[in-house]
Structure 1
């Protein structure tokens, strides 16, 4: 199966965003880098896991801080532009450069080409994005205290309550 790899290089801007209203939100990473830009559409759980993984890696690094330089803005930062639906995310760290690598891949399909998108972020960018991502994730619907599923504003029929009425968030 052929694979297309798109390396955007070092990020000049990275944001985590949610689009839509709670319960119907879609999540994305918006990145501008030295060799292009992208909107990487991911699941809420993927965004949360990426943010927590970055936080953990940064905590484990402690005070070790290599020199951090984002890529200089360039005229080519707008081309090419990718609109990318990721089925999986990967995280790496280049100790020599002091940068995190984020890799997004499309779903594997026996007949289709698998595409990969890679970009690099500094520790400061990673830390800001992780904080932003956790805020975005937390701004959605509250979770049921019994089944941990999302609760709608008008209540939640929880399978753990055996059908004994709706559960509200004030439990």
Structure 2
């Protein structure tokens, strides 16, 4: 079966979003250009890492080239929900990120999970062999807006425990830092 690479050179929208209640959410990335929409499923940690790496890449581009291409105004963060119907193309396994100096764009490539190990040469390449992919070219403003929204989406889940940072469930939380014991207050002695 031949590889399918979904390429979005000038997406109108590239966002992270979720479906479900905190603690039972599914995370998606969605690219939209004209009448074409592609949605891919991934893990919360992958969304977080991608947002962090995009921010770091923007800083590195600014350091090396003297400008990250961002205007002085704050980028408009897209707060709209994911487009429906939400049909998953694939589950993301490998992620790639790069800078295309020719177009002044950040390139995000998301590869489908496969049973075989993914060769590094397949990422950001148009070879016929390899996992399906979603490749999105983002202006620095779009990349910053994506990273901002992705961070909001990730942090909108369950609040973290102040002791162990694990998510607090509405039903309660067994904190590993307390190790099953409660500290005694001096008044109890």
Give the TM-score band, short-chain normalised.
Answer: 0.7 to 0.9
Distance 2:103 2:172 in 1: 49
1:28-52 superposed Cα distances (whole Å, 9 cap, x missing partner): 1110137943101111111011111
Say which one has the larger Rg: 2
The two structures have a TM-score, normalised by structure 2, of: 0.69
> Does the CA contact (< 8 Å) of 2:58 and 2:68 recur in 1?
no
Which residue is 1:64 aligned to? 67
Distance 2:36 2:27 in 1: 20
Unaligned 5+ segments in structure 1 are 68-80, 166-171
Which residue is 1:149 aligned to? 166
> Does the CA contact (< 8 Å) of 1:8 and 1:34 recur in 2?
no
Count of residue pairs brought into register by the alignment: 150
Distance 1:164 1:124 in 2: 49
The CA deviation at 1:56 is 1.5
Q: Secondary structure at the match of 1:144?
A: coil
Matched, 1:105 2:111: yes
> Does the CA contact (< 8 Å) of 1:31 and 1:39 recur in 2?
yes
Which residue is 2:8 aligned to? 9
Matches within 5 A, 1:115-134: 115-134=132-151
The two structures have a TM-score, normalised by structure 1, of: 0.75
Structure with the higher fraction of residues in strand conformation: 1
Change (3 A) 1:124 1:154: same
Which residue is 1:90 aligned to? 96
Which residue is 2:39 aligned to? 39
